[in-house]
Amino acid sequence: MRIELLYYPECPSHERTLELIREALALEGKQAEICVIRIDTQEQADAHRFIGSPTIRINGHELQPQPHLPYRLTCRAFLHEDGRISPIPSLTMLREALRTAEGG
């Protein structure tokens, strides 16, 4: 399994997100190559189809894609299962995504 974590360093969400990804992997008993990709410029955001930080792709599938949003350098939001809007994904969302990922 390959997980990409794309982040914009001016947004403070990525470190906690990386912790959550590792926690979710441990809880699910899965291993993955985690590729952390820093996005600094609009050109990089366009090239990586980056709608905000953090963006997580598991085997190429984006967690909670929001195709209506433009590619840009900012923080992004995640809608949690309890209806809360947060700058980071929930552990539950990550575990569910790991379970359903192909090759997991």
Partner 1 sequence: MEIGQSAYDFELPGVDGKRYSLKDFADKPVLVLFFWCNHCPYVKAYEDRVIQLAREFSDRVAFVAINSNDPTQYPEDSFENMKKRAEEKGYPFPYLFDETQAVARAYKASRTPEFFVFDEERDLKYHGRFDDNWEHPEQVRHEYVRDAIRSLLEGDIPHVSQVPPIGCTIKWKH
Q: Give the residue among 59, 78, 66, 70 at the shortest CA–CA distance from 14.
A: 78
Q: Which is nearer to partner 1, 33 or 82 (CB)?
A: 82
Tokens at residue 36, please? 């952390």
Task: Give the residues lining the site for partner 1 (CB under 8 A).
Answer: 10-13, 16, 72, 74-78, 84-88
Q: Which is nearer to partner 1, 30 or 72 (CB)?
A: 72
Give least dist CB 7 to partner 1, A.
Answer: 13
Q: Which is nearer to partner 1, 25 or 88 (CB)?
A: 88
Tokens at residue 97, please? 């995504």
Give least dist CB 73 to partner 1, A.
Answer: 8
Residue bearing tokens 């953090």: 54
How many CB atoms lie under 10 A from the CB of residue 40?
11
